[in-house]
Amino acid sequence: MTTAEDDALTTLPPYSDADLSDREAPAPAGPRLGVLGWLRWTWRQLTSMRTALILLFLLALASVPGSVLPQEGTDPAAVSQYYTAHPGLAPLLNDLSLFNVFSAPWFAATYLLLFASLAGCVLPRTVRLVGQARQLPPRAPRNLARLPFSASYVTQQQPEQAMAAASKLLSRRHYRLQTGDGWVSAEKGYLREVGNLIFHIALLALLFSVGIGGIWGYKANRLLIVGQGFANTPTDLDVFHPGRLVGPSDLQPFSINLQSFQAKYVTSGPQLDQPISYAAPLTYRTAPGAPLRHYTLQVNHPLVVDSVSVYLIGHGYAPEFKITDGTGHVQFDGPVPFIPVDQLSLTSEGVIKVPDAKPAQLGFAGIFLPTAVDVNGELQSAFPAALFPRVSLVSYAGNLGMDGPVAQSVYQLDTKGLHQLPVAPRPLAPGQSIKLPDGDGTLTFTGYTQWVSLAITYDPGQLPALISGILALLGLILSFLVRRRRVFVRVQPRADGGTAVVVGGLARSDAAGGFEAEFTDLAQQFLDLHDGTALPEAADPRPGGDDEAADVSSGDEFVPRKSAVTAQARAAGPDPASAGREESEA
């Protein structure tokens, strides 16, 4: 390489886009950095970025089992099913946290490492950008024709005049300028890095926001039967997942009463059975003693009380029973929530336990059919609304096993200590009863009501997460829209009294192209401004025969060149915008 070339290239190293990932301040890439220095510098770029790449890949990979295997967090029932289906494999998977992927230690390790790498990458870059923003663009290289884009022409204007006009045009276009003896150097597009940094920092902020939710937020579920109510206290909630620093007294003290529940379904056509709308009118108080308010809870329309949101996430039937035991005492009288086993027809299953019944404890396992129809001797539900409700029960007597050490699910009957009673299987209509044999008592299906399941969430990280997300998106768009580029102009008096003008330009991270068009346009403006005459191509001798013609840089695919200006595109050493490099490095 000649000295002139070195000089031209000194401006380039900090201009390669790999430099963005440099964790250390960039080595002052002077002419005498040497091959080793270059190698080390390049290696550091590659490793840091490569680390990010590998970690991103691991994160993607680590998420896969979470979507393929059932997860405790989203579908615990499916996990138990998996245990039954694969008794050998399931404990093994459980040991690897594969039923809890997104809270698994190895998953956390992956994203924490990634975010550590992100912080380690972004913070120094921010510092560096602040430094760069205060610096002037570098001196113009001596031989502008060696830049990826250049144009040259002659003008009758004097060099100073031509310089002044060029500077004015560039600053009008919001370039930052440095001028010297016979040259102007201009730079623009710092916003690209600003956008990129905002994006990455916003990702960090997003992670923190999620963390805030996990520490100070909580999630809960409550099944609520029409006519009943509950208060937002840990004991009154069915499922309660508090954040790490949430105590029972931190819960907002509202209470809710369910007035009724209405569901509408498609009654004909191919979409028969499909729900059209759900509505759950309810009353609530923000605190004990506060005024009573009304709200109609619907899907997609949560109730927000005191920054806590209450959602309608499910519904079902609760058949009502009255059970009299062998001694003639009414031991049970009320609704029992049944769980839908088929979402379309709302065929539901449930159990009734009567531990106080005498002489023996009683248990019933039943199916509720909202619209019962007889299909070849088998009873099925034909429609989700309760048009022809029937309940079919199997009755048991004996020991319910409820005084064991482990609390029983109210939705399951442990039949170990029970024996089935010989009752003729007969679906009950509302009002009908079964008389249990041996004077064990009577059960009456008195009617039915409905229930809804509510999700209650409090997430103080939600707003920060939203803001981070919006910032990330804006930063991303900014970095994609702006391209950082430099333009240089050199003027030189000619023997014939005119002035020779050379315009050179280069863009960093111009992978999507487009700089060439901008440069051509700019060069054309210089030409017009200077009243110049384009030089014949021969007047700009290009050194070296090792040039690779960079057809990519020819830019906007097959745009005709403006005849007045010869924009030259060639691969110039470490120029990132050219494809020559890409090919030589592949």
Partner 1 sequence: MPINTGLADTSNALLFSTVILYALAMLCYACDFAFAKERVVAEAPALVAVGAGGPPVQVPISVPADAASRATPSRWPTGVWLRAAFGLTCIGLFCHVLAILARGLAEHRVPWGNMYEFLAAITCMAVLVLVAASVKYRAYYMGLFVLVPVVFALGLDLTVIYTPAGSLVPALQSYWIAIHVTAMIIASGLFIFGAVVTTLYLVADRSQRRIAAGQPSWSAGIVDHLPKPAILDRLSYRSILFGFPVWTFGVMAGAIWADHAWGRYWGWDPKETWSFITWVVYAMFLHARATAGWRGRRAAWIHLIGFGCLMFNLIGVNLWITGLHSYAGMP
Structure tokens at 386: 């309760």
Of residues 24 through 43, those in contact with partner 1 by CB under 8 A are: 42
Q: What are the distances in angstroms from CA 294 to CA 138, 255, 283?
A: 68, 12, 4
Q: How many CB atoms neighbour CB 278 within 10 A?
A: 16
Q: Kindly give, in sequence order, each residue whose CB lies less than 8 Å from that of residue 167, ignoring residues fewer than 6 positions away.
A: 177, 179, 184
Number of helical (H) and strand (E) elements in the chain, helices listed first: 10, 26
Q: Give the footprint of ligand HEM on this chain (CB under 6 A).
A: 17, 20-21, 48-49, 52, 56, 114, 117-118, 121, 195-196, 199-200, 203, 476, 479, 509
Span interacting with partner 1, options 29-37, 89-97, 361-369, 550-558, rule CB under 8 A: 550-558
- Residue 200: name its binding partner from ligand HEM, partner 1, none (Cβ under 5 to 8 Å by kind): ligand HEM
> Which does residue 16 touch among ligand HEM, partner 1, none (CB within 5 to 8 A, set by kind)?
partner 1
Q: Which two tokens stand for residue 364?
A: 């019933």
**How far apart are CB 49 and ligand HEM at their closest, in Å?**
5
Nearer to ligand HEM, 40 or 419 (CB): 40
Nearer to ligand HEM (CB atom), residue 98 or residue 197: 197
How far apart are CB 337 and ligand HEM at their closest, in Å?
43
Q: How far is the CB of 28 from ligand HEM (least distance, A)?
A: 20
Decide whether 52 or 263 has the Cβ nearer to ligand HEM. 52
Supply the minimum distance, in Å, between the C-beta of residue 8 and ligand HEM: 23
Give min distance, CB of 562 to ligand HEM, in A. Answer: 29
For residue 266, what are the contacts with CB-CB under 8 A and spacing of at least 6? 272, 273, 274, 275, 276
Q: Residues 10, 21, 345, 348: which binds partner 1 (CB under 8 A)?
A: 21
Give dist(CA 325, CA 329) in Å, integer: 6
**Considering the complex, what minimum distance in angstroms separates the CB of residue 136 from ligand HEM?**
22
Q: Dihedral sign for Cα 335, 341, 342, 347, please.
A: negative
Q: Which of 33, 56, 423, 467 binds partner 1 (CB under 8 A)?
A: 56
Q: Count Cβ neighbours within 10 Å for each residue of 488-497 and write b for 16 or more, e otherwise.
A: bbbbeeeeee
Q: Smaller CB distance to partner 1: residue 421 or 569?
A: 569
Interaction partner, residue 428 (ligand HEM, partner 1, none; CB < 5-8 Å by kind): none
Closest CB to ligand HEM belongs to which residue? Answer: 121
DSSP 249: G
Identify the residue among 33, 299, 529, 564 touching partner 1 (CB under 8 A): 299
The item of partner 1, ligand HEM, none sharing an interface with residue 155, based on CB under 5 to 8 Å by kind, is: none
Share in percent of the chain as helix, strand, coil (round to 5): 35, 30, 35
534 is a site residue for partner 1 (CB under 8 A): no
Name the E strands within 193-347: 218-225, 229-231, 239-242, 255-258, 262-265, 275-285, 293-297, 303-305, 308-325, 330-335, 339-340
Total interface residues for partner 1 by CB under 8 A = 95
DSSP state of 20: G
**Is 200 a binder of partner 1 (CB under 8 A)?**
no
Q: What span, in angstroms and rounded, lies between the C-alpha atoms of 372 and 249?
A: 47
Q: Which does 361 bind (CB under 5 to 8 A by kind): ligand HEM, partner 1, none?
A: none
Member of 410, 476, 529, 535 binding partner 1 (CB under 8 A): 476
Query: For residue 117, which amino acid is it?
Result: S
Enumerate residues 6+ apart whose C-beta is below 8 A from 159: 182, 491, 492, 493, 499
Of residues 53, 109, 116, 402, which one binds partner 1 by CB under 8 A? 53
Burial class (CB in 10 A: 0-12, 13-18, 19+), 438: exposed
Applying CB under 8 A, which part among 157-165, 182-190, 319-327, 473-481 lies near partner 1? 473-481
Residue (199 or 254) nearer to ligand HEM, CB:
199
Instruction: Indicate which of ligand HEM, partner 1, none lies near residue 63 (CB less than 5 to 8 Å, by partner kind).
Output: partner 1
> C-beta of 479: minimal distance to ligand HEM in Å?
3
45 interacts with partner 1 by CB under 8 A: yes
| 55 or 297: CB nearest ligand HEM | 55
Binding mask 63-102 for partner 1 (x = CB under 8 A): xx-xxx--x-xx--------------------------xx
- Which conformational region is residue 185 in: left (phi greater than 0), alpha (psi within -120 to 50 degrees), or beta? beta
- Tokens linked to 465: 């997460």
- What angle (nearest 5°) sits at the alpha carbon of residue 356, between those of residues 354 and 360? 80
- Residue from 275, 281, 430, 447 in contact with partner 1 (CB under 8 A): 275
Q: Rule CB under 8 A: is residue 472 a binding residue for partner 1?
A: yes
Tokens for 340, please give them: 């839908």
Residue selected from 17, 236, 349, 414 as contacting partner 1 according to rule CB under 8 A: 17
Report what 121 binds from ligand HEM, partner 1, none; CB cut-off 5-8 Å by kind: ligand HEM
Q: Which is nearer to partner 1, 35 or 586 (CB)?
A: 586
Which of ligand HEM, partner 1, none lies near 277, with the C-beta cut-off 5 to 8 A by kind? partner 1
Taking the C-alpha atoms of residue 237 and residue 255, their distance in angstroms, rounded to an integer, is: 11
Q: Does 457 bind partner 1 (CB under 8 A)?
A: yes
Helix/strand/coil (H/E/C) assignment for every residue in 453-507: EEEEEECCCHHHHHHHHHHHHHHHHHHHHCCEEEEEEEEEECCCCCEEEEEEEEE
The answer to whether residue 215 forms part of the interface with partner 1 (CB under 8 A) is no
Alpha-carbon span 146 to 152, nearest angstrom: 12
Nearer of residues 63 and 399 to partner 1, judged by Cβ:
63
CB of 482 to partner 1, least distance (A): 12
Is residue 298 a contact residue for partner 1 (CB under 8 A)? yes
* Token pair recorded at residue 166: 């060029």
